[in-house]
Amino acid sequence: MTGGAGSAGFALGIVSIKEDPMSDLATQVRKIAQEARVASAELALKTADERNQALRAMAAALRRETPQIVAANQLDMEAARAKGTKESLLDRLMLDRGRIESMAAALEELCDLPDPLGQVQEERTMYNGMELRRISVPLGVVAVVYEARPNVTADAAGICLKSGNAAVLRGGSMAARSNEAVARVLAAAAQEAGMPQGWLGAITSTDRAATDELMQLHGVVDVLIPRGGAGLIRHCVEHSKVPVIETGTGNCHVYVHASADLAMARAIILNAKCRRYGVCNAAETLLADGCVAEDFLPKVFADMTERGVLLHLDQAAAEIARREGLEEDQDFVIATEEDWATEYLGPELAVRTVGGVLEAIDHVNAYGTMHSEAIVAEDEQAATTFLNRVDAAAVYWNASTAFTDGGQFGLGAEIGISTQKLHARGPFALQGLTSYKYVLRGTGQVRS
């Protein structure tokens, strides 16, 4: 149902989780987005202080309404368990007092970041005396489509509000009740603190057609940010009329050059692969120069098998593995063409031997997703060639790909990691949710 009353008695744009006939759903999604559009005009005029106060009110409301949010989350958890959802996904879905406190704290941290709006990016007096200024403004209406984790609801709402944007959030169906509870609490708290009604819309219908409808709303929604698997992102890129910022698909490589400090290389691939398996900045393929493979790969194989990481090896690497006594089909398999293009997001690693930096670059540019790419080398010329020629958001020399992250890059809370080149690339945050406007002041000038 649209516009139901929130817990504190505030109208909130929600397309609820009950199943609706398709035509009705489309109308409701459009209404939510239209209300967000109207709200965005008012929101853009709020001062930084006003927006920060609303963020603090949202944090306080999350803490106050924790029992209600946990209760909604438990319904999602029960439904997910009944469907036989695996533990790792259940863990991502779960909200408890500690996690809700983290969501609240993240909202408060946003208050300390500089205001991305109203920045004068350029200021000039034109030849005819007109004053030209280029000033940062919000994008308007930001739609975020995301999957399991319900904390994204609070994170995305907060980042949008801090940057003066209205938000339309479309979370995963598994977390629908949790997302709806969080969104109701946030929307009501921000409205009570003076933000315009409709600034936050939540689409928690489990019907996938809701996302498709959102993608039609060119002119109403200014940008669509899909956060999730490669399938979701491809679907959005192929069907959206609203401009999309692609995020998060990371088929990342670590390349070990002949000149590498092999102890350093070992630590870097271990960190890049095993720090966390499910993140987009994790390495999925190790490339190693053939001339160091004999020395280097046995150590990597030991690290990986010890952690239960399945190796996908090219023939040369497989030969070394066999010699080291690794078991085929258990510790390793022979890599196929498909492996080079696969983002495992799990305890698997592809390994390929190459004949130098140019072959490594060709592999990375052919199979990578322009996310994060690393070279380990002592040879500066090889490193420079790699850094210059690899086409990716973040390129590393002698460091782990795991650093590609808004917090690590000093951007504060990120809304995503862009793997496209338009508008924002790599981790993007508040500044990535702004546009600009030329403001020109004259005294009657006309153009000859």
List residues binding its own copies (CB under 8 A): 41, 44-45, 124, 126, 130, 132, 137, 139-140, 218, 222-223, 237-238, 241, 243-245, 261, 264, 267-268, 270-272, 275, 365, 387-389, 391-400, 402-404, 408-410, 420-423, 425-426, 435-447
CB 155 within 8 A of CB 161: no
Edge-to-edge strand list for the sheet holding 372-376: 332-334, 310-313, 348-354, 283-289, 252-256, 372-376
Nearest distance, CB of residue 362 and its own copies, angstroms = 10
Residue 439 CB neighbour total at 10 angstroms:
13
Nearest distance, CB of residue 328 and its own copies, angstroms = 30
Closest CA to 110 of 169, 155, 175, 174: 155
Closest CA to 351 of 273, 422, 416, 234: 273
Name the residue nearer to its own copies (CB basis): 136 or 204: 136
Name the residue nearer to its own copies (CB basis): 48 or 399: 399
Nearest distance, CB of residue 61 and its own copies, angstroms = 29
Name the residue nearer to its own copies (CB basis): 44 or 79: 44
* Distance between first and last Cα of the chain: 56
Name the residue nearer to its own copies (CB basis): 178 or 404: 404
Nearest distance, CB of residue 97 and its own copies, angstroms = 26
Nearest distance, CB of residue 443 and its own copies, angstroms = 6
Torsion of CA 163, 166, 172, 173, to 10 degrees: 160
| Residue type (1 letter), 115 | D
CB 180 within 8 A of CB 205: no
Residue 294 CB neighbour total at 10 angstroms:
14
Nearest distance, CB of residue 405 and its own copies, angstroms = 8
Name the residue nearer to its own copies (CB basis): 82 or 446: 446
Name the residue nearer to its own copies (CB basis): 334 or 341: 341
Name the residue nearer to its own copies (CB basis): 86 or 447: 447
What six digits make up the tokens of 59?
Answer: 């944090």
Nearest distance, CB of residue 283 and its own copies, angstroms = 11
CB 203 within 8 A of CB 12: no
The DSSP annotation for 28-74 comes to: HHHHHHHHHHHHHHHHTTS-HHHHHHHHHHHHHHHHHTHHHHHHHHH
Nearest distance, CB of residue 403 and its own copies, angstroms = 6
Name the residue nearer to its own copies (CB basis): 61 or 268: 268
3-state secondary structure of 363: helix
